[in-house]
Structure 1
């Protein structure tokens, strides 16, 4: 971020603080000189901002490791973002499992807990199991800043507005059920798609169809690097088409409509083989087909990514940057 002159000095300071924090967030650690170059902020200002961020617990100066050779003259100051200063949690509440992953502010998973469920489990029991899993996973990991939740059905504003798989699940208000920190909720297949784009088979691809196969089939659609949920948040819910021919034919129709670079499938290897053959037969251009790289963690990991995106917006917002004013 280029240095600015004139104008509102408090805004300038906030913008400089964002530049410094972003540079540290993206690196393991940086010397003062490297931080000045990466942020394009003057050396005295960087030192002041680093001190402010240190008081907030977000940044610390890194001492020389014990036994490291001592440089001639004053050693260069080094700084790091304290990714352990807070955590986010990602919780899947699905037909077959409640799974919670806890991650630090860089997204590295540091805690997990899981319990089995069945599609017939009553809503109250499903919520109770999810609460216990969440409590177990976050134990020893303080300052959970945001909780992300992924669940089956159409989710809007944190509420399950339509669901045909789980008894009593339509109408469940997830933020109201899981208070204590900000709660973001979304459809499980959409969040699994987000996870595959972040750390799975779809990393580096911005136009992707994700196929979640099982007793019911649903699709996640990533277009231009962004999830496409549709007008009602119900895009990809093809599991309702119970009499619409083979599964592979439905996906081929979606691929023809969207022309993605990649199809990722979560399911058996046999299904992946069948889908490759169908797409090769039906599509105008070759499309790459890969199996999911994330397995049963996909939904919870996508919920972590959803929560982490909220934290990143807060860290790098003009209004809320530490040391502003």
Structure 2
């Protein structure tokens, strides 16, 4: 990445000058060399040298421009733009029921994507095989070379450590203990970042969804075992071991029944406990079945209690509700009312805005952050790689 940034000269001073110049170009608008000198505060010879290296690397292009200083005489102005098409990033969701891939250029403009349904019983090898074929299909349709990828970020259910190993993942067979980072890095020549799906959903909603402009946000991935992602001052809070937000484990404290009993309409645990079984209960409740309505109310109360625990700890400005439970009729009002009772200061509550693409879009944002840290920051590169 440093060679791309500086045209092969990796000296720190040249790298900083290149980053400052790229920051002035990052919005995609073409600007003159004179404007770059003014915007960066660097000398004209320095900017000229940096631009020459960036053009050589392919990150910047000189462009023709119809207007030239209002007709003033003298040497014509030279115009330049950042080449967002010089590279690409991938956002990937490895989910229980589908694999989703989103492809974007270096400015975050989406240029391709595809979702492929998968069987929830697939083992890791088969599931990762679907990831690879879906990525290949997206790249082929977009006409993008794999060598053009600068970063890949991947979202998955479960507790993920800093190296990309799934420390606990009960949603998919064989997922606990899987070194997902190492497995996927074999398929790419660029950095690969692995992150929890609810964390990525929080990042996506903050980027382009219901939480734009909000600093302290909780995203609730509401499902059979709800999880949450939290932003504090706009930055993701992962926790010491990556397990922050695992509110679905609260029932293990012995205070309430397990999910399969909460949603039962027969007095016996739901077996199997899957989304199809839950969907039947929710449908019966909407149709007026009293037993199913009571079961749904129990589920909602559990969700409220779980969310309240996180709200009391973090005092967020906004709680965003996503996942399939976001489709429950009237989920927002019970949340608002009960959080007002349990919490010292009730937060705003909103439904997620990005729908089924929320995790993949959050992964895309993380991949972009990784690239932008290298391209636009003026500090030395991070030694952690994350």
User: TM-score, structure 2 length as denominator?
Assistant: 0.75
**Aligned-partner Cα distance in 2 for 1:284–1:319:** 43
Residue 150 of structure 2: aligned partner: 145
1:200-237 Cα distance to aligned partner (Å, 9 max, x none)? 21121111111111233111111122211112211111
Shift of 1:44: 2.4
**Aligned-partner Cα distance in 2 for 1:289–1:165:** 27
Match 1:257 to one of 313, 329, 347? 313
Residue 222 of structure 1: aligned partner: 231
**Which structure: greater helix fraction?**
2
User: Structure 1 residue 166 and structure 2 residue 172: aligned?
Assistant: yes
Contact 1:89–1:138 (CA under 8 A) maintained in structure 2: no
User: Structure 1 residue 17 and structure 2 residue 18: aligned?
Assistant: yes
User: Structure 1 residue 52 and structure 2 residue 58: aligned?
Assistant: no
Counterparts of 1:70-89 in structure 2 under 5 Å?
A: 71-73=71-73, 74-89=75-90
Residue 237 of structure 1: aligned partner: 246
Kindly tell me the number of residue pairs found equivalent between the two proteins: 310
Contact 1:18–1:318 (CA under 8 A) maintained in structure 2: no
Gaps of 5+ in 1: 1-9, 321-325
**Aligned-partner Cα distance in 1 for 2:136–2:68:** 41
Shift of 1:197: 1.4
SS of 1:241 mapped into structure 2: helix
1:274-322 Cα distance to aligned partner (Å, 9 max, x none)? 21222233333342112111111111111111111111122246667xx
Gaps of 5+ in 2: 1-10, 258-300, 382-386
User: Structure 1 residue 106 and structure 2 residue 166: aligned?
Assistant: no
With over 3 angstroms needed to count, the CA separation of the structure-2 counterparts of 1:234 and 1:254, relative to structure 1, is same
Residue 137 of structure 2: aligned partner: 136
SS of 1:149 mapped into structure 2: strand
Shift of 1:174: 2.0
Stretch deviating more after TM superposition (122-131 or 160-169): 122-131
Contact 2:203–2:365 (CA under 8 A) maintained in structure 1: yes
Match 1:287 to one of 343, 347, 356? 347
**Aligned-partner Cα distance in 1 for 2:139–2:236:** 28
Question: Higher relative contact order by CA 8 Å / sep ≥ 6: 1 or 2?
Answer: 1
SS of 2:331 mapped into structure 1: helix
SS of 2:171 mapped into structure 1: coil
**Aligned-partner Cα distance in 1 for 2:197–2:218:** 15
Contact 2:247–2:310 (CA under 8 A) maintained in structure 1: no
With over 3 angstroms needed to count, the CA separation of the structure-2 counterparts of 1:34 and 1:69, relative to structure 1, is closer
Contact 1:14–1:318 (CA under 8 A) maintained in structure 2: no
Alignment RMSD: 2.2
User: TM-score, structure 1 length as denominator?
Assistant: 0.88
**Aligned-partner Cα distance in 2 for 1:62–1:296:** 39
The runs of at least 4 consecutive aligned structure 1 residues that moved more than 6 Å come to 67-70
